Structure 1
């Protein structure tokens, strides 16, 4: 069994960057097939890794291991001789930049904590350094233990927290590798503190659904304002699985817009001059 799931840019197109996707509690790599294909269709190389397993013990050591896993995941994504689809793509060190870590739920917490720890260590970070991060469905301190579901919650209760998208509910239900009840598991407080207190000096797109009961929206606003280059985007009607909910097309478009803006040194490529809506 491979360690990753890959989604390639269309053959013949220049690969525009690399996105490494990190799932959250209970999710599998298959959970992100729809998103991976959509980003890849826009000529981004997408690799989905397994969800991290970070507990309350030895956070620093586990983040170091997680960083090593992401470094290994990025290795060789540019393809043989630094090409993808037979087209020179300007790969550096076997990976096409910009490189973006995209995490969901505890995957997002781990990404934020990892990048923040690297930036505050005082030394040059080791391993693969992302050019930006996308953090989706970050759990808050008060609800990070899955309080919205509870120990006696049913699978339908968990699905209601996750999504209102019938297709996504069906994918989660049919995937025998999805761990049911995972959103009721406790999130280590040390990980929550490290993620929400991160001082990562890379561009960050933070995505949250306004119907996500596990999110602390006020804390996310404070986190976004504390970072030097962050954008907080709220998805109307979005649940916890904001990357895969009913609004997944608009969310994917927001991510692609961020990726394209990142390639343009954070200068938006489109500016609205006037609008009646």
Structure 2
């Protein structure tokens, strides 16, 4: 399985969209977290606003703030349309888990829904209260559980079926 987040998700989606499924590196599945929409960019006035768009997890915020490779304004540049055209135009025959936060300012939920419907085996999971970096936001344990559930479903032959279903709930 290969995992990509943000621009890495776009690059991974474009890669599997254009490579032959018999490639030696072909994955059993992909997880695409925080795939940005066409032309999406964050016009934050300051670093605190950019961090708010990314995550509300205090540990991850501190990690980003202390990382010399992370610079303010990194979310201000939109990805090239050619890359996103490949990613969103994919019909690659690889099982895909698409993850997005419902408060992600760079996500295009309509485009993500269309992508999930166009792929042969795909699931779009929306993280309630999730920001840009759903893998490292406050709900990271729930996101990890979704990824584990996806892996569990992959162990069986397609069609993928979740291991757990809810039959009754009062919440």
Aligned to 1:110: 11
| Higher RCO structure (Cα 8 Å, ≥6 apart) | 2
102, 107, 120: which one aligns with 1:215: 107
Aligned to 1:260: 152
Higher Cα radius of gyration:
1
Cα-to-partner distance string for 1:4-41 (whole Å, 9 max, x where unaligned): xxxxxxxxxxxxxxxxxxxxxxxxxxxxxxxxxxxxxx
Aligned to 2:77: 185
Paired residue secondary structure (2:134): coil
90, 95, 101: which one aligns with 2:2: 101
Cα-to-partner distance string for 1:30-72 (whole Å, 9 max, x where unaligned): xxxxxxxxxxxxxxxxxxxxxxxxxxxxxxxxxxxxxxxxxxx
Tell me whether 1:164 sits opposite 2:56 in the alignment.
yes
2, 23, 29: which one aligns with 1:126: 23
Paired residue secondary structure (1:207): strand
Residues 1-277 of structure 1: pairs in structure 2 closer than 5 A = 100-119=1-20, 125-143=22-40, 146=41, 148-149=42-43, 153-265=45-157, 266-277=160-171
Cα-to-partner distance string for 1:251-276 (whole Å, 9 max, x where unaligned): 01111111111112323322333333
Note if contact 1:106-1:138 (Cα within 8 Å) is conserved in structure 2: yes
Per-residue deviation, 1:226: 0.9
Cα-to-partner distance string for 1:159-187 (whole Å, 9 max, x where unaligned): 11101111111111112222332111231
Structure 1 CA distance for aligned equivalents of residues 11 and 70 of structure 2: 19
Per-residue deviation, 1:232: 0.4
RMSD: 1.5
Note if contact 1:164-1:246 (Cα within 8 Å) is conserved in structure 2: yes
Note if contact 1:203-1:229 (Cα within 8 Å) is conserved in structure 2: yes
Aligned pairs, number = 169
TM-score after normalising by structure 2: 0.92
TM-score after normalising by structure 1: 0.58
Note if contact 1:142-1:216 (Cα within 8 Å) is conserved in structure 2: no
Structure 2 gaps, min length 5: none
Note if contact 1:201-1:227 (Cα within 8 Å) is conserved in structure 2: yes
Structure 2 CA distance for aligned equivalents of residues 166 and 176 of structure 1: 18
